A and B are shown apart, each in its own frame.
Chain A
Amino acid sequence: MVDWQVAKLVEAHDETATARTLTFEIAGWPGHLAGQHVDVRVTAPDGYQASREYSIASGAAPAAGAAPAAGAADAMGGAGATSTSGAPGGSTLVELSVEELDDGEVSPYLVRGLELGDHLEVRGPVGGYFVWEPSQSEPVQLIAGGSGVVPLMSMLRTHGAAVAGAGPAGHPSPMRLLYSVRAPEYVFYGDELRRPAALADTSMTIDFVYTREAPSGADRSVGRLTRAELETLSLPVAGNPLTYVCGPNGFVEQIAGWLVELGHPAERVRTERFGGV
């Protein structure tokens, strides 16, 4: 494990009313896989420190200074294009999306305090199981609850880059996202997920389920995802998909349990959770 590294905030925008996406420039970043986390440490002027883990939103990146994979940049266009370097001098741009927690210590600072040009420290990447790599060829189902979409977005971006880099043959693995979210204004990466460039990747399907409030004209009434909807809106067992579920614990527990009931082998369902029972 590498030691703490300095990261400089070079771009930031509000993702929702309670979440912010921050792009850091990190010199000598060792690279990461889609779905990994990073430890973030902030230090007050008197030396007091606090650390938390956050999921990486940008697509997989090689080690700083290494040549990026063909087509890895800009696959889904515009703001999503922090998937590889693009930063000067052997540094890497790494994007995090942080939801402000009501009782948080670090998240309020990252969402409302940290300014462009400010520094903090990062260490990572961390985790190696809840990851997707372009070398995987099986169909992939992603299921997000709320801010659980962040590591799945990294996978979508990495997939988009792989599709763009694969030429006319495309990437062999279809990727489908089922995104459960309270209301339209809480959707992360809304522009990017609805952008024609993303939709042009025909191996990618994105479905939204709104639990409290739906956009006008939605063809589904609001409410929590049901087991029947899960079956309809996710890749069937017959194709032997690999399914990644990320969100609050209650959501993940319910969805993962249903997936097993629907016949998905437990070892084909990978989960990442936050919060208590």
Chain B
Amino acid sequence: MGIFSPGFVGRRRDKNPMLPPGQYEVTDFPVLSAGPTPTIELSDWAFSIRAANGDLKAWNWQTLMAQPIDDITVDLHCVTRWSQFGMGWRGVSLDRLFDGVDTSTEYAMASCYGGYTTNIRTADLVNGQAWIAFQFDGEDLAPAHGGPARLLIPHLYLWKSAKWVKNITLMNHHQLGFWENYGYHDVGDPWKEERYS
């Protein structure tokens, strides 16, 4: 390629095989958000899944907490290039919540309190790959990080792990979410460096 920046050495600390291409490690869990943090009382909180045939399954806080809860330790990768390793979460596997729902449809859209949306392939939400997470690092999830509950899809860039998630709708047609409409990638696999479309 031949474009070198003279005098640049770099820290070389990022030659870590756990780091996807173009990422660097942080330890302070940065916050990124397009608007104000919504205030959501647990008594008002609800989450639902709409199947492609229109059927709706819904949970309030009590019925979510009645589900089997997983302890999850994962590395997270943000499209703005930071990665953080070994982050400890608690949440309910989407596999549990999808029980009885036809997940053979190709597309899904997550919608949130505050209006954020992100599109995800249904295949990225099943088989132990995604959770509704409500604790981080032993504490209730802070509102700025998506509390009371957010989607957690660690194998995709973090904008897919929608904060303040309210609904997942399964769809037979393709549709773009919030950042995807602004040129961010449809799928968002950090190991393929799928940042932009």
Contact = CB atoms under 8 A, between A and B. Distances in A.
Nearest to A6: B3
A43 B31 contact: no
Interface residues of B, number: 42
Interface in B1-52: 1, 3-14, 22, 24, 26, 28-38
28 contacts: A42-B5, A42-B10, A43-B8, A44-B9, A44-B10, A45-B6, A48-B12, A51-B22, A105-B14, A109-B8, A114-B7, A118-B5, A119-B3, A127-B182, A128-B182, A256-B37, A257-B37, A259-B36, A266-B36, A266-B114, A267-B115, A270-B34, A270-B35, A273-B33, A275-B28, A276-B30, A277-B142, A277-B145
Contact of B35 (A43, A249, A267): A267
Contacts of A168: none
A212 interface: no
A237 interface: no
Nearest to A1: B196
Contacts of B6: 45, 115, 118
Query: What DSSP secondary structure best describes chain B's contact surface?
Result: loop
B36 A256 contact: yes
A108 B27 CA distance: 19
Contact of A52 (B33, B81, B196): B81
B32 A260 contact: no
Interface of A: 1, 6, 42-45, 48-53, 105-106, 109, 113-115, 118-121, 126-130, 249, 253, 256-257, 259-260, 266-267, 269-277
B144 A249 contact: yes
Given A53-B80, A126-B183, A48 B34 contact: no
Give the 4 A-B residue pairs with the shortest CB-CB distance, closest first: A276-B28, A128-B182, A1-B196, A256-B36
A6 B1 CA distance: 10
A51 B60 CA distance: 42
Given A53-B81, A118-B7, A266-B35, 14 more contacts: A43-B4, A51-B22, A105-B13, A109-B10, A113-B8, A114-B8, A115-B7, A118-B6, A119-B5, A128-B182, A266-B114, A271-B34, A275-B28, A276-B30
B172 interface: no
